Amino acid sequence: MPQPFWTNYVKGVVKQYAGDLPAGKKFVFQAVFASDVPLGAGLSSSAALEVATATLLEMISGVVPPNPATKALRCQKAEHEFCDMPCGIMDQFISAMGQDGHVLKIDCRSQVGSPVPMNANEVVVLIANSKVKHELSGSEYPDRVAQCKAATEVLAESFPEVKELRDATMEMLESVKEGLDEVAYRRAMHVISENTRVEGAEVALKAGQFEELGKLMVASHNSLRDDFEVSTPELDTLVELAVGFEGVMGSRMTGGGFGGCTVTVVKKAQADALAAHIKKGYKEATGVECDIFVTRPGPGAGPLEL
């Protein structure tokens, strides 16, 4: 009997942990997976499954990797090798390294995650699921990787210190604009400006400046929509409904795009009214009932005592 594709996420993680067992031993277990993370919504359901599986295997074997980053990287490798998805490290890192009341700033070069406090009991995160998943050819992610690599190569010809787009500045990019095609230029512009926004978001969060954080979120969404081109009309509608509503600091799409969810930072007192506003407006605009839930940053995967 053919097994569903999602089992590859489990198999891949088992393969990564098999080396922890004594010679000649293998994992044999029965497990039930229960989740309230929406599938295909850009909320890292695959990484949640991988990291939960890794946590289970650590409990079975009694062998825990030296740090959560190693656990996350094993899960990323599982997705590369068993699911043919050349994903980055963001989803696995937050699933393995999340801390209560904190967001996670990730340095993809050094592979270090740094918790950043989100200290405001009066502020919550409202997640709106568009419930739309556009049909893709499967090349959208690899295409953008290739476009960013092409831009990096052009930049490196003039600026040898540029090994990746994170090393470049907007001034550098403008100086080589004529050597880039229009798409590669916009992809690079998004990445360079987004890195700047991440640094700004860290400063804003540490200072408790949620209004400034919100401005960066909206700018991020606009760049994802216009320059990286991974948004959709449905995601744009959700953001437009949120921005400008009383108590909203900012809103943007989340995940890999082409459908999925938006995240909105809003004052807790206005969260219910915002949810009703978005549900009504989204149904009128698209004919679809969106799902909404309110949350705050919580801890990553760990064992539960039953």
- Cβ-contact 198, 108 below 8 angstroms: no
- Cβ-contact 249, 227 below 8 angstroms: no
DSSP 3: P
How many residues are there in the chain?
306
C-alpha closest to that of 236 among 228, 227, 225, 247: 225
Angular region, 10: left φ>0, alpha ψ -120 to 50, beta rest: alpha
C-alpha closest to that of 261 among 132, 103, 136, 91: 132
Instruction: Determine which one of 20, 84, 91, 291 is catalytic.
Output: 91
C-alpha closest to that of 42 among 201, 230, 181: 230
Token pair, residue 241, equals: 């409904």
Q: Which residue has the tokens 């996670």?
A: 104
- Cβ-contact 101, 118 below 8 angstroms: yes
- Cβ-contact 173, 192 below 8 angstroms: yes
Q: Which residue has the tokens 């009214």?
A: 273
What's the rounded Cα separation, in Å, for the pair 197 and 213? 9
Q: Where are the alpha helices (DSSP H) in 20-164?
A: 45-61, 68-83, 90-97, 140-158
Burial of 225 (0-12, 13-18, 19+ CB in 10 A): buried
CA distances from 138 to 49, 86, 120, 143, 243 (A): 21, 11, 40, 9, 31
Question: Is residue 91 flagged as an active site residue?
Answer: yes
Task: Provide the residue type at 24 as one letter.
Answer: G
The catalytic residues are: 91
